[in-house]
């Protein structure tokens, strides 16, 4: 059963961090030893998955730069730079903003987390119906985050299950057979290529979505995808920031690709829009999402016109059904559900 962890004070999401234009520093996440495979070995399903995830650390250097490091690249952390970011870090607003100010923007208080004894069903429901993008994992009564489980890590786990009998019986079904895409074409949140990129980020905030397609002049075909994470390029790429109020979504995508190529950075933005069709098998979609490291894939018709989008949450939601009173009245009146929700 889900429990609130009162030893920890809060949690933040991407939108909350970028709303304040700061990155939490001094936070670390340590993982359990990597061992075994999913579904095998000692411990609960949640703890087994936790043990497969890598650790990472956010830290601030003596020069004031923010760096991130993983187990295998602790000495090769990426830093955030750019004239705008340097100006921001020297401002009183930046200096006076505390981690507690950011954590307070999250709707679950004091803290919503998984325990290592929780079931996969609890985890999948939180990541789908209850709209969590990531879940910290803690021990009962502890004050240490053992790891973080994300929607991406669950989809990666599913990708590793290809070939298993239980997965194949479900994974060979077509998107249309599973009721995907959930959102109708007219409800798809999108921007045209000639609209300002700030309009794209504004729509994401207003509609509560993590990304949207950039449509061509006809409004029928997607030429690119912009996610909430891409707002970082308004900070880290000085050439883009200089024109951030007027640059169009199409020019923004081109400028970001040029910036990434200059920095020799890998990113889904360097590739064409990833698409699929309603007749594609769900397992092929999972493999594509996992291999491309993306959070959404656009559904197109035979002419290449965009018909909808399938997200990681959509896929996870098709794996589970919530038993009656599973969470009691914990979420009553808190989580609004779409009219066509079947979760």
pLDDT of residue 54: 42
Tell me if 199 is assigned to some domain.
Answer: yes
The span from the first CA to the last CA of the chain, in angstroms, equals 18
Whether 158 is in a domain gets the answer no
**Is a pLDDT exceeding 60 seen at residue 246?**
yes
Is residue 193 in some structural domain? yes
pTM of the model: 0.72
| 254, 224 Cβ separation under 8 angstroms | no
Question: How many CB atoms neighbour CB 231 within 10 A?
Answer: 20
Ranges 85-89, 241-245, 316-320: which has the least confidence: 85-89
pLDDT, tens digit, for every residue of 122-159?
Answer: 999 999 998 888 899 988 777 788 899 999 999 999 99
Q: Residue 58 above 60 pLDDT?
A: no
Beta-carbon count within 10 A of 86 CB: 13
Domain membership flag for residue 35: no
Give the least confident one: 60-69, 132-141, 257-266: 60-69
DSSP 117-154: TS-HHHHHHHHTTT--SEEEEE-TT--SEEEEEEHHHH
Whether 234 is covered by a domain: the verdict is yes
Structural domain of 237: 175-319
Q: What DSSP element (H or E) covers 20?
A: helix 14-20
Q: Encoding tokens for residue 29? A: 């996440």
Cα–Cα distance between 293 and 268 in angstroms, integer?
7
pLDDT at 215 over 90: yes
Handedness of CA 88, 91, 93, 97 (dihedral sign): positive
Q: Within a domain: residue 186?
A: yes
- Helix (H), strand (E), coil (C) string for 153-197: HHHHHHHCCCCCHHHHHHHCCECHHHCCCCCCHHHCCCEECCCEH
pLDDT at 115 over 70: yes
Average pLDDT, the chain: 77
For residue 110, is the peptide bond before it cis, meaning its omega torsion is within 30 degrees of 0? yes
Flag whether pLDDT at 291 surpasses 50: yes
CATH, residue 221: 3.10.580.10
Mean pLDDT of 316-334: 86
Question: Is 188 a domain residue?
Answer: yes
Q: What is the pLDDT of residue 184?
A: 85
Question: How far is Cα 161 from Cα 156, in angstroms, rounded to an integer?
Answer: 9
* Mean pLDDT score, 20-37: 32
Total domain count, the chain? 1
Q: Is residue 261 part of a domain?
A: yes
């Amino acid at each position: 059963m889900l429990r609130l962890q009162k030893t920890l004070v809060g949690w933040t999401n991407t939108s909350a961090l970028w709303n304040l234009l700061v990155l939490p520093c001094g936070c670390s996440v340590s993982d359990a030893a990597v061992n075994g495979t999913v579904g095998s070995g000692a411990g609960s399903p949640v703890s087994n998955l936790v043990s497969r995830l890598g650790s990472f650390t956010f830290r601030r250097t003596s020069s004031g730069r923010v760096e991130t490091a993983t187990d295998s690249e602790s000495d090769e952390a990426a830093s955030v730079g750019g004239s705008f970011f340097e100006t921001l870090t020297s401002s009183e607003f930046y200096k006076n903003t505390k981690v507690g100010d950011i954590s307070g923007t999250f709707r679950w208080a004091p803290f919503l987390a998984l325990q290592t004894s929780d079931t996969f069903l609890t985890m999948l429901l939180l990541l789908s119906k209850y709209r969590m993008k990531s879940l910290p994992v803690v021990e009962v009564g502890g004050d240490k985050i053992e790891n973080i489980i994300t929607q991406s890590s669950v989809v990666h786990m599913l990708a590793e299950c290809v070939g298993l009998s239980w997965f194949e019986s479900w994974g060979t079904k077509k998107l249309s057979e599973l009721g995907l895409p959930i959102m109708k074409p007219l409800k798809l949140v999108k921007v045209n290529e000639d609209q300002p990129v700030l309009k794209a980020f504004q729509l994401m905030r207003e509609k509560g979505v993590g990304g949207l397609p950039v449509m061509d002049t006809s409004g029928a075909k997607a030429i690119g995808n912009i996610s909430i994470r891409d707002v970082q390029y308004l900070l880290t790429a000085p050439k883009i920031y200089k024109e951030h109020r007027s640059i169009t979504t199409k020019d923004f995508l081109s400028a970001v690709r040029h910036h990434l190529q200059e920095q020799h950075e890998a990113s889904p933005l360097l590739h064409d829009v990833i698409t699929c069709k309603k007749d594609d098998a769900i397992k092929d979609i999972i493999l594509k999402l996992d291999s491309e490291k993306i959070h959404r894939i656009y559904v197109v018709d035979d002419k290449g016109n965009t018909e909808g989008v399938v997200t990681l949450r959509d896929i996870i939601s098709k794996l589970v059904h919530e038993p009656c009173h599973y969470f009691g009245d914990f979420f009553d009146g808190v989580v609004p559900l779409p009219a066509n929700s079947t979760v």
